[in-house]
Amino acid sequence: MKIICLQENLKNSLNITQNIIGRNLILPILNNVLLTTKDGRLQVSSTNLEIGINTWVSGRVEKIGAITCPAKALTGFINSLPNKKIELEVKVNILTVKCENYKASFNCLSAEDFPIIPKITDDSLIEIKNSILKDALLKVVGAASSSESRPEITGVLFSFGKKELKLAATDSFRLAEKSIFEIHKKSDIIKSLIIPQKTVQEAARILGEKTGETKICLGASQILFDSGDVQVISRLIDGQYPDYQQIIPKEFSSQAIIERSELLNVIRAAAVFSNKTNTIKFSLSDGEIEVLSQDADLGENKSKLAAETKGKKVVIDFNYRYLLDGLGNINTKQIFLGLISDASPAVMKPVGDESYIYLVMPIRAN
């Protein structure tokens, strides 16, 4: 194998692919990236057996071939080079990299032993602008569960509807749902899939750096995010996602419109006195929200917030971290807060944007 390419292009590809590579002692080849000449370009691929990433570097292929090279070392070395022409050449499992006055040799492993990253050749289910998809993924992914006791909620639910894509995630303490209506192209298929949290994070990280569109395609038991020069392929999570729609309240006994930045400050101030349990108490009454917290050793806090309220008085305890997470996903100036009782889920929504909803379960006193 021999190929000549530009440092910057190779650097970008390596930095995208190497992120999913950990330190695998059982299968050392998983610490490597796969370099393959393909259709006159260099394909750079990585996998952790759950997610695979393919990227391409344009260049001049002088001899076709394939090899796998330690990812962190190759990335570290390429990152140190000037943005000039790089020559990569493989002889008997040694990759030699030359760039101006720099030269390095890497001991490599054969490409034949590299795990196969599944190919997905199906037509796309949907095409969405990268910036919109990234924003939507980040608004839900934090709510997914990190406990393996219920694997089906460790992922994000993708529901491909007639005209929209709905994303949802929950860890049973809170739930986030985001609908994407700005869709470039949509097939007729109506389907729901559970995508691992780590895949969603990687897709958001990689797509966030790109302009253009991403195609989402479906394989036998994989999903593909394809933005043209980067592909993220992932396994799906088996299982039945909970029917969460039924727990989203439609009517409230008490509701308020609140300035988002003021609510953030009041919660942060209350958080100081909730160290041990993370509990803060909301009291929503006529034209006002009172936030209380106390700590036996430290002291207590009581802050008030003017709000446009409606309905009866409700007093409810929250884990303030869940509230901050939800507020972090909302960027409108005002938010809607809907309550039913101290034992029912509370709803937060951006005012003027019906595409996002964040549910928080209260902390029950007993």
Binding site for a copy of itself (CB under 8 A): 70, 73, 76-77, 79-82, 94-95, 101-107, 265-266, 268-269, 271-273, 297-306
* Residues 133, 137: Cα–Cα separation, whole Å: 6
Nearer to a copy of itself, 112 or 297 (CB): 297
Question: How many residues make up the chain in this entry?
Answer: 366
User: CA–CA separation, 154 vs 198, rounded Å?
Assistant: 9
Binning the chain into helix, strand and coil, the percentages to the nearest 5 are 25, 45, 30
- HSE at residue 224, side-chain half, CA atoms within 13 A, is 21
Q: How far is the CB of 24 from a copy of itself (least distance, A)?
A: 15
For the four alpha carbons of 225, 151, 321 and 323, in that order, the dihedral sign comes to positive
CB of 287 to a copy of itself, least distance (A): 12
Q: Based on CB atoms, which residue is closest to a copy of itself, 94 or 190?
A: 94
94 vs 257 by CB, closer to a copy of itself? 94
DSSP 25: S
* Least distance (Å) between residue 86 CB and a copy of itself: 12
Pairwise CA distance, residues 241 & 101, whole Å: 56
In whole angstroms, how close is the CB of 32 to a copy of itself at the nearest point? Answer: 11
Asked if 45 contacts 17 with a C-beta cutoff of 8 angstroms, the reply is yes
Query: For residues 60 and 103, which CB has a smaller minimum distance to a copy of itself in the complex?
Result: 103
Shortest distance (Å) from residue 251 CB to a copy of itself: 29
* Closer of 248 and 272 to a copy of itself (Cβ): 272
Whether the Cβ atoms of residue 165 and residue 128 lie closer than 8 Å to each other: yes
* Secondary element (H or E) of residue 116: none
Shortest CB 297 distance to a copy of itself, Å: 6
Report in angstroms how near the CB of residue 187 gets to a copy of itself at its nearest.
46
Tokens of 72: 């962190």
Rounded CA separation 30/108 (Å): 12
With a CB cutoff of 8 Å and minimum separation 6, the contacts of 15 are 75, 79
CA 356 from centre of chain: 16
What region does 197 belong to: left with phi over 0, alpha with psi -120 to 50, or beta? Answer: alpha
Alpha-carbon span 2 to 96, nearest angstrom:
9
Shortest Å, Cβ 298 to a copy of itself: 5
Nearer to a copy of itself, 6 or 138 (CB): 6
Q: Which is nearer to a copy of itself, 123 or 300 (CB)?
A: 300
Q: Report the residue number, 95 or 323, with the smaller CB distance to a copy of itself.
A: 95
